[in-house]
Amino acid sequence: MTAPMVTSEQVHKSFGHLQVLNGIELEVATGEVFCLVGPSGSGKSTFLRCINHLERIDAGRLSVDGELIGYREHGGKLYELHEKDVARKRQEIGMVFQSFNLFPHMTALANIMEAPIRVKRESAAVVRERAERLLDRVGLSHKADVYPNRLSGGQQQRVAIARALAMEPKLMLFDEPTSALDPELVGEVLDVMRQLADDGMTMIVVTHEMGFAREVGDNLVFMDGGVIIESGHPRDVLANPQHERTRAFLSKVLM
């Protein structure tokens, strides 16, 4: 067994009086596709955003690849990290958003090249070659010089995936990557994600695409009210949910 990529122990998070995460306990193994499902407002996005410290946690421990996120432990105390160190850690974690969030003032290729050049300070020639390879991998070589507003939703999301991959992350976070897409465009994005899973990328995927979870997922967690209700292999959980709340949720999203 290799060391887990993500470890979450008793992670708590609240916004004001609203307790959003209420002791999340989970482990994501390296190379695994980890699916997170649950009703709206259950805290899925919040948990994902805690993993790359877009939100700070109130209590518990959250680590990626053996390093705490957002904090440094010293002499039994936790010290909040400097912005520079948070940013360095984020380079290892790719994130794909529901609303794509491509940079509208840059072409598809420039979107992909921006962070490796500006953040990792890699040479433009090396980055360009990698960016072109990634665009080819998501099937969009012919759109390199196009601005995002000229791309369909599915194409934008594929560029967004390529942009995250250009930083050569160890872990990819997907927050409902297909929820904003027209039904006929969902497939092309899932295909790219499936291919990525086949290549051995560790992925945490918040999704309502149960077909994808069943087929590609190694693990599935059902969350509600900021706690994990049940977890297991997607086939088992989806075919044979143990909890009433899981059953109620699945009966609404399945088929």
Partner 1 sequence: MKPIKAVPLRHPGRWLTVAVILVLAAMFANALVSNPLFQWDVVGQYFTSETILKGVGQTLYLTFVAMAVGIVLGVILAVMRLSPSPVLSTISWAYIWFFRGTPVLVQLIFWFNLAALFPELSIGVPFGPTFFSVETNAAITPFIAAILGLGLNEAAYMAEISRAGIQSVNDGQVEAAHALGMRRLLTMRRIILPQAMRVIIPPAGNETIGMLKTTSLVSIVTLPELLYSAQSIYSRTFETIPLLIVASLWYLIMTSVLTVGQYYIERHFGKGNARTMPPTAWQRLRRNFFTFHSPPPEAPAPSVTSSSGGIR
Ligand X SMILES: Nc1ncnc2c1ncn2[C@@H]1O[C@H](COP(=O)(O)OP(=O)(O)OP(=O)(O)O)[C@@H](O)[C@H]1O
Binding site for ligand X (CB under 6 A): 15, 18, 20, 38, 40-46
**Least CB distance to partner 1 at residue 82 (A):** 10
Closest by Cα among 192, 136, 139 to 161 = 192
Least separation, in Å, of the C-beta of 89 and ligand X?
21
Q: Which does 22 bind (CB under 5 to 8 A by kind): partner 1, Mg ion, ligand X, none?
A: none
**Tokens representing residue 144 in the block:** 């390199």
Q: From the CB of 127, what's the least distance to ligand X, in Å?
A: 33
Q: What is the number of other CB atoms lying within 10 angstroms of the CB of residue 250?
A: 17
Whether 24 and 228 have beta carbons less than 8 Å apart is answered as yes
Q: Which does 41 bind (CB under 5 to 8 A by kind): ligand X, Mg ion, partner 1, none?
A: ligand X
Residue type, 230: E
User: Distance between CA atoms of 102 and 28, rounded to whole angstroms?
Assistant: 28
Query: Residue numbers of the site for partner 1 (CB under 8 A)?
Result: 52, 54, 83-84, 87-88, 90-91, 93-95, 97, 99-107, 114-115, 118-120, 147-153, 156, 160, 163-164, 167, 180-182, 185
Residue 139: other Cβ atoms inside 10 A: 15
Smallest separation, CB 83 to partner 1 (Å): 6
Q: Specify the residue, 24 or 93, whose C-beta has the smaller distance to partner 1.
A: 93
Regarding 207 and contact with Mg ion (CB under 5 A), the answer is: no
Q: Which of 45, 63, 111, 155 binds Mg ion (CB under 5 A)?
A: 45
Select the binding partner of residue 8 from partner 1, Mg ion, ligand X, none (C-beta < 5 to 8 A, by kind).
none
Q: Under a CB-based contact definition with an 8 Å cutoff, are residues 191 and 143 in contact?
A: no
CB within 8 Å of 93: residues ≥ 6 apart: 51, 52, 64, 169, 170, 171, 172, 173
Residues in the site for Mg ion, rule: CB under 5 A?
A: 45
